[in-house]
């Protein structure tokens, strides 16, 4: 099961209907965008409700409604240190860097 299936839109909508934070909704949208770029994604929810999205080979993005106590993520989306728009920019930049490095490596072997 891929990450967007694990965090279904129905699940996110149910959370929003109950008035819970939109952290899961942001993580879900981020996961869908990452997968649309062809990235492999893993998803984990901590006891605090913080969502960690690992984009294979690129890094970890943290989605939360509170400040980061540990600083282990490569990008934090909590409206204190970073934003959703910043998380998407981080993803696009990392994806583009990885694609350019792969193209350069392929060129070397031609």
Locate the domains of the chain by residue range.
3-108
Q: How far apart are CA 66 and CA 86, in angstroms?
A: 17
To the nearest whole percent, how much of the chain has pLDDT over 70?
A: 81
pLDDT digits (tens, 9 = 90+) for 70-91: 888 999 988 788 888 899 999 9
pLDDT of residue 89: 93
Q: What band does 99 get if pLDDT is binned at 50, 70 and 90?
A: very high
Question: What mean pLDDT, rounded, does the chain reach?
Answer: 85
Please state the pTM of the whole predicted model.
0.79
pLDDT of residue 1: 45
Q: How far apart are CA 16 and CA 23, in angstroms?
A: 10
Residue 82 φ then ψ, to 5°: -155, 170
Contact 51, 64 (CB under 8 A): yes
């Amino acid at each position: 099961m891929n990450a967007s299936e694990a965090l279904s839109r129905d699940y996110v909508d149910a959370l929003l209907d109950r008035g819970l934070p939109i952290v899961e909704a942001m993580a879900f949208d981020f996961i869908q965008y990452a997968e649309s770029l062809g990235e492999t994604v893993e998803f984990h929810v901590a006891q605090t409700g913080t969502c960690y999205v690992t984009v294979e080979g690129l890094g970890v993005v943290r989605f939360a409604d509170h400040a980061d106590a540990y600083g282990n993520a490569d990008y934090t989306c909590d409206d204190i240190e970073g934003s959703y728009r910043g998380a998407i920019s981080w993803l696009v930049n990392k994806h583009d860097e990885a694609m350019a490095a792969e193209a350069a490596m392929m060129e070397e072997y031609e």
